[in-house]
Each structure stands twice: as C-alpha cells, then as structure tokens.
A and B are shown apart, each in its own frame.
Chain A
Amino acid sequence: MNIVVAMKQIPDLQQIRIRNREPVLDAVPLTLGNIDKNALEAAVAFKESHGGKVTVLSAGSEDLEDTIKEALAAGADEAFLVLDDELDGADSEAIAGILGAALNRIEDKDLIIFGEGSGDNYSGQVGPRVAEILGIPLVTYASSIEINDKTAKVVRSLEDCEEIIELTLPAAVSVLAGINEPRIPSVTQILKAGKKPKEILEMDDLGLALAEKQVITLSNLAPESERKQILLKSADELVKALSSQSLIGR
C-alpha cells in the first residue's frame, strides 16, 4: 500500500503579528498546514500497522526543501517536491494542476490523502480539484478511514449527518482535523529526516508554466477591533456593568 500525502507550506500562523491592520509576514517561520499534519498522521499510522510506503507531496518555494523535514521526521518515507518561488500564494487552480501532474509521475499510489483545508487559506479546493484532474473518487471531510486491500471505508462527517462511503482504490480522501492527534517527532527522527530521499522537480520538468493569477487580492487586513477591554475585579462588577447596558435582567 502506497499512500501519498499532499501538504502545504504556510507561514506559522501563531507567529504572525498585526501592525496597522496589516499582517507582518517577514521573519515568520514556515511550517506545514495543521490539518495536513492530520493527513500525514493517518497515512503513517496505517503504514505502521500494515506496512507500505508514505510519500509526502508538496509544491512551494525553495524553502520547502527545509520545511518538508517536519513531515519526513513525522514518518513520511520520502518527499516529492515541486519548487518555484512563485508558488507560495499561487491560486488553488494552479496548485491543483501541479499536484495532478506530479501525481501522474508517482507510479504506485493507492491512496492520496489531503487535509480538508489549508491552515492559512482554508479554501478546501485543492483536494476536490485534484480528484477531478485524476478522475479518481474522493471522499471529503473524513473522520475515520479504514483501508483494506482494494477498498477504503471512509466516514464522511458533515454538519448534520455522517455518510459511510466505500471507495475502490486508487482513490483520495480529505481528512478533518479531529481524525487523529499528529505525533511530535523526536530529536533523533528530526536528525534522520534530512537523509530521507527527496525527488525535486521544477515546473519545467512537469512541462508546466505558472499561469497568471486569476484570484486578485485587493486588500488583506485584520478586522478593526474596538473592544473596550475594561478590566473588572469581580462577578458582582460584571453583573452591574452588564445590567447598566441592559444586557442582563431584561
């Protein structure tokens, strides 16, 4: 069983500061999307109990070569990277096209796992787009995956219902953040990660060129916050404050 996990390089969201409503991204370290880590964990846990191989696939800027070590340390066996400095922040359509082309290069792939949305944009388009490109079945929003020989049984967890879906492999799944708890790699694993095999391609190698952006960003600002931040000392003071605003005791 060979599983490919698609992961996105994003800025570490915890470290983004806001200045004059603008996000300050300089010097913010890069990491991999949170839910993508759940996708990786699902693949690695399966490999550990049933054998097989886990390939991590990602398209991004040159920094990815370093960022991807996180995934290799957390149990991926090898990385397949498409590098181009224009790729961070590229449209979902462009990224899906690249991942689709890359996946066509990866011969043995029984299952492709995505996170349900990237950590930064949370748009959720790439998995469904890639499934359409490859013409394979995809189940989104998985809360559990049970992989058998030629099939996978997936629980798709929607707002008001759960669907139990059987997929014939090769197929794709996108997972919810709640599906598992991603492991934190040990120091030895991190040290060894640098030695794991990486296949690195450029856009040219895939016969692709980056198209002009079709999603144009006019502004990207933190919402204005005009909260009073009044520090109170007791429950009593809180009740008085809220009553004076007719927010309680109506």
Chain B
Amino acid sequence: MAGILIYSDKNDYALELLTAARIITASSGLDVRALSINNDSQAEALAGAGAEVCKINNTAIALADASALANAIKQAVEKLDINTILLSSNLRGRELAGRLAQIIGTACLTGVSAVKLNGDKLECQRNALGGATVATQYIATEKKVIAIVPRSFEKAPAGTGKISELEVDVQATPGLKLVETKAKSEDSVDIEAAEVLVAVGQGLNSKDDLPMVEALVKALGGELACSKPVATDKKWLSEERIIGLSGKKCKPELAVLLGISGQVQFNVGIRDAGTIVAVNSDENAYVNKMADYVLVDDLHKVVAELNKILA
C-alpha cells in the first residue's frame, strides 16, 4: 500500500521531505515514494538516501510551467495510489501546491513548519495572522497536499533505495513561454546555517554604514542579515539575507538586531534564536519585547563602540 509521495525541485529540500515522510509513516507502515521530474541527479541522490524513487523524464514538462508539473504529479498520485503529497514550501513549491490541490480536488496547507500524526489526523503547524500566531491545523479530506518550509527537517541520511521510471502524458501550458532564466546575484550566503547573526533594519542611516556593521559581524564571527525592506526597497543587501516570513527562518545561538522594529513578519524568522539582542533608538519598539538584551540607543554609536571594545 502506497501512502506518501514527496517532490521538490531542489535536491536538498527533497531529502528533507524524505525525513518528514518517514517520521509520518513510522507508526503507520505506509509506503513513501519520491518523485523526481527531469532531474536524474536528484533521483540518484534520493535513492542514495534509501528512497524508492519514481523518475519522470518528459520534455513537455518545464520547471517554469507549474501547471504541467502539477499535472505530472497528479498522474503519479493516481498511478502510485497516493494519499498524501509532501512538497517543499519554497516559491515554486507553494505555487505547485495550490495547483495540484486544485486539480486533485482537495485541500492544501502551505508554509508548514512541523507535522505530527495524531491518530488518523496529520496535524500541521503553520504561521497565521501574518506570523502573529502559529496555527495547528489538519486536512479533513482523504487526499492531502502539504508544502513544508525548507529546513524544517534534517536531510535524510544515506541508505540504499531504488529507481524506477514512470510515464506520464502531459502537455505544455499554452500561452506561457519562458524567454530567459537569469541566476540571481552570486551572493550565496547561508544565513540559516550561521550561529551568530547580525541583522540590520531600516534604522541604518545609509549604505555607507554597512562596513561598520560588517566589521562587527567579523568580530562576532557571524553572518550579516537584514530585514526585508533593506534588501527589497533599499537594495543595500541581497535578498538571500532577509530574515522572516518571506525570507529565511533562522535559529542562530546569538542574534543582534540593529534598527529593526520587530514586525511579526520579521519576528517569525528569528524567534527561535538562542539569545536575542535588540539595539533600537525607540524604547517602545516592539523588537525590545522579543529580546533578551535591550539597548535603547543609536545603533551607529553602539556598533562603533562594540567594534572598539571587540578589537
């Protein structure tokens, strides 16, 4: 009896989904199948982690064509007798989740950060009310589509799996043409992996003040991160460095938040940090309530002083 199918366009996320699927099926004895679409290296990686992989190779399915992808997965779901589909809740995965749930005719949860099988209910946790709350929800329909936030689970360890091929019949979506794909900036920093994060917000006066903050980052042995507007509006730092609901979810041991107001959409990305320091000139800033240590002062002055002491 088959049970769970996992799919992500990203190899690492697929390996995380494999772990999630195994946790869910541990007590139920359901099967786990992994799907890779036009991605042989992923099929190998998943088989190398002990997964039973079905691989689809079909030139009609382009990664940019989420509707075609959803159709391919739907056919796999039918052929493999699947009830639960786990996808990654990165941007492609989130779109795919909605489409797949629609064409299967079922409910869907995206942005899920934890799952637990409680009897026959698969309880999922996700942020709600813009991140102010965490909701525990389950899907009542027999078939379920669940998209899981990247890095919520460890990657599956090595094992011995197998690969088989699966045929699907899919047409490319008419009226949608990929003209070009451009890689984003080379800034491939991984703020999620950092043990120390120094994050700047719109309290920073100008881009010219970044070197001073970078010096502090270096002294603390961490990585530089930011609130969303610093990257998307001001474009002082790359989007890779955004903490929060639409950025990264980080769990550093130490987070130093400089000139950040502490809106919920930011907070959800840092609330699991070990120790939080907030430096903000406003004594009533919301960020102060979510910090262990609070300095009500001008961040530029504080950073200069810290750099002096730590030098």
Residues of A at under 8 Å CB distance from B?
11, 13, 16, 18, 23, 91-93, 96, 117, 119-129, 131-133, 136-141, 153, 156, 158-168, 171, 176-178, 212-223, 225, 227-236, 238-239, 241-242, 245, 247-248, 250
Determine the chain A residues whose CB is within 8 A of the CB of B177 once the complex forms. 165-167
One of B123, B133, B179, B183 near A153 (C-beta < 8 A): B179
Contact call A168/B91, Cβ cutoff below 8 A: no
- How far apart are A153's CB and chain B's nearest CB, in angstroms? 7
Question: Which DSSP category, helix, strand, loop or mixed, fits chain B's interface?
Answer: mixed
- Whether A242 contacts B173 in the complex (CB less than 8 A), given A140-B66, A159-B91, comes out as no
Cβ distance A214 to chain B, nearest Cβ, rounded Å? 4
Asked if A221 and B277 make an inter-chain contact with CB atoms under 8 angstroms apart, the answer reads no
For the complex, what is the distance from the CA of A208 to the CA of B126, rounded to whole Å? Answer: 29
Known: A129-B99, A166-B179. A227 touches B289 (CB 8 A): yes
The distance in angstroms between the C-alpha atoms of A131 and B96, with both chains bound, is 12
List the 6 closest pairs (A to B, CB-CB), nearest first: A128-B98, A125-B98, A235-B305, A168-B175, A214-B107, A178-B232
> Contacts A123-B109, A159-B91, A217-B136; is A167 near B176 (CB within 8 Å)?
yes
Contacting pair B70 A132 (CB below 8 A) = yes
Q: Tell me whether B288 is interfacial, beta carbon within 8 Å.
A: yes
A137 near B91: Cβ-Cβ < 8 Å: no
| Given A124-B98, A156-B64, A248-B220, A236 and B305 contact (CB-CB distance below 8 Å) | yes
* Interchain nearest-CB distance for B206 vs A (Å): 20
The answer to whether A241 and B271 touch across the interface, beta carbons within 8 angstroms, is no
Q: What residues of chain B lie closer than 8 Å to A11, measured between beta carbons? A: 129
- Whether B190 is near chain A, meaning CB under 8 Å from some CB there, is no
Q: Which residue of A lies closest to B103 (CB)?
A: A132
* Chain A interface, DSSP helix/strand/loop, else mixed: mixed
Q: Which listed residue (A92, A132, A158, A230) contacts B91, Cβ 8 A?
A: A158
Answer whether A163 and B108 are a contact pair too, CB < 8 Å, given A131-B67, A247-B254.
no
Partner of B108, one of A92, A136, A178, A236: A92
Report Cα–Cα, A171/B173, bound state, in Å.
Answer: 12
Considering the chains assembled together, what is the distance between the CA atoms of A11 and B128 in angstroms?
Answer: 12
Given the interface contacts A13-B132, A140-B95, does A168 sit within 8 Å of B174 by beta carbon?
yes
Cβ of B92 < 8 Å from any Cβ of A?
yes
CB distance from B64 to the nearest CB of A (A): 5
Task: Determine whether the beta carbon of A137 is less than 8 Å from that of B302.
Answer: no
A149 to B11, CA, bound (A): 40
Can you sample 24 A-B contacts with CB below 8 Å? A13-B264, A93-B107, A117-B94, A124-B98, A128-B96, A129-B102, A132-B99, A162-B182, A164-B180, A165-B176, A165-B178, A166-B177, A168-B175, A215-B140, A218-B137, A220-B129, A223-B271, A227-B290, A227-B291, A232-B294, A233-B295, A238-B277, A245-B275, A247-B253
Knowing A162-B182, A242-B277, say if A231 contacts B294 (CB, 8 Å). yes
Contact yes or no, A128 B99, CB < 8 A? yes
Query: Which A residues lie within 8 Å of B289 (CB)?
Result: 225, 227, 229
Specify which chain B residues have a CB less than 8 angstroms from the CB of A215 in the assembled complex.
107, 109, 137-140
Whether the Cβ atoms of A161 and B182 lie closer than 8 Å is yes
Whole-angstrom distance between the alpha carbons of A168 and B179 in the complex? 13
Asked if A230 meets B293 with Cβ closer than 8 Å, knowing A13-B132, A123-B111, A217-B135, the reply is yes
Q: A126 CA to B173 CA in the complex, in Å?
A: 19
* Across-interface contacts of A250 in B (CB, < 8 A): 221
Among A136, A227, A236, which residue has its beta carbon within 8 angstroms of that of B309?
A236
What residue in chain A is nearest B246 (Cβ atoms)?
Answer: A177
B243-275 vs A, CB cutoff 8 Å, 1 = contact: the mask equals 001100000011000000000100000010011
- Contact check, B110 vs A124: say whether CB atoms are below 8 A apart: yes
Choose one: A122, A125, A162, A213; the contact of B101 (CB below 8 Å): A125
Q: How far is the CA of A229 from the CA of B286 in the complex (A)?
A: 11
Evaluate contact between A218 and B293: CB separation under 8 angstroms.
no
A11 to B264, CA, bound (A): 15
Q: Does B1 make an interface contact (CB < 8 A)?
A: no
17 new A-B contacts at CB < 8 Å, known A126-B98, A132-B67:
A23-B129, A124-B95, A124-B97, A133-B102, A137-B173, A137-B175, A163-B64, A164-B178, A166-B179, A171-B176, A216-B139, A221-B134, A231-B294, A233-B295, A235-B302, A235-B305, A242-B277
Q: Which residue of B lies closest to A160 (CB)?
A: B184
Question: Is B208's CB within 8 Å of the partner chain A?
Answer: no
CA distance A141 to B109 in the complex (A): 19
On whether the beta carbons of B140 and A216 are closer than 8 Å, the reply is: yes
Within the complex, what minimum Cβ distance (angstroms) separates A144 from chain B? 13
A247 to B252, CA, bound (A): 11
B98's contact among A127, A161, A222, A229, by CB below 8 Å, is which?
Answer: A127
Given contacts A122-B127, A225-B290, contact A216 B183 (CB under 8 A): no
Q: Is the CB of A167 within 8 A of B175?
A: yes
Q: How many angstroms between the C-alpha atoms of A215 and B136 in the bound complex? A: 10
